[in-house]
Amino acid sequence: MTSWKGTNVFVTGASGLLGAAMVEELLARGAHVTCLVRDWVPASRLVTEELIARCNVVRGELEDYDLLARALNEHEIETVFHLGAQTIVGTASRSPLSTFEANIRGTWLLLEACREMSKTVKRILVASSDKAYGVHEKLPYTEDAPLQGRFPYDVSKSCTDLISLSYHATYQLPVAVTRCGNLYGAGDSNWNRLIPGTIRSLVQGERPIIRSDGKFVRDYFYVRDAADAYLALAERMHEPKFHGQAFNFGTEEPKSVLEIVASLQKLCERADLAPVVQNQASHEIPKQYLDCAKARAWLAWKPKRTLESGLAETVNWYRQALRT
């Protein structure tokens, strides 16, 4: 691809953190965007920044095959970004059924609809996660590491990943899978997540809450860099060698929860507000971080921002948003 101008694109999960960033970037590049939206989320950047007014909107669920097939057909979709999922680990643990329905069944139904519309659908990018790898003693994860999720959310992403790659292996569907680190950035209103929750507490003069023991290690990945990574991969999907491939995307700067909180305290100038460490987290993987050498080699890709600069941009956005 040399240009997104005039390309018909379908984005699932468009009201989410990554979805809104993807829609924003696609619109800026001239794409015709159709969004799948289940719930109306007034706090989403899709709504607050009026991105939704510039898109076609399909209201419904991933679990509705007829709706998916109709949307792909009537809007003559060429590119699919499947970002829709139930993404909160705690929610998945409390109610695995809804998570499995959306993340697993929703994925195979969308892929089946894409197979039905294979004359028009030319590229499909599916959001898996570093959680799909599960617990491994050897880190960082490389793309050939086994997918062995154990807890409900992790299992849902392992299944999403495997189902997607099976549709290429069996039906030659032009699918690629992305496995990103923990996404953060402007517009995330899931306050139980570490970064937005910590920033809100610090800006409001409250001690931040850490659900775990603070020692969990993750690869934190700025959402605008994630959107760039998806587009870089999509733009190479006309090359068959990219079909059926998985790519890790992240900063390769693993940090503990306590280190992230300390960075945010410094950026917010609130070192006086010591975190409250609850040590109550369960069903989570202690250490996860990614090797992104494949993305660098195949796509000549690397994130534009360091973790420090991404966090600084995020803090500035929340400071403004929380004042209004």
What single-letter DSSP state applies at residue 283? S
Q: Kindly name the residue from 133, 153, 220, 289 that is annotated as catalytic.
A: 153
Active site residue 153: yes
What single-letter DSSP state applies at residue 157? H
CA 308, CA 306: separation in Å to the nearest integer? 5
What single-letter DSSP state applies at residue 105? I
CA 69, CA 66: separation in Å to the nearest integer? 5
What single-letter DSSP state applies at residue 123? E
What are the helix (H) ranges across the chain?
Answer: 17-28, 45-48, 65-74, 89-94, 96-100, 106-116, 152-171, 194-203, 223-234, 257-268, 293-299, 307-323
Residue 266 in tokens: 């410094």
Which residues fall within 8 angstroms of residue 113, CB to CB, at 6 or more apart?
65, 68, 69, 72
Q: Burial of 269 by CB count in 10 Å (0-12 exposed, 13-18 middle, 19+ buried)?
A: exposed
List active site positions.
153
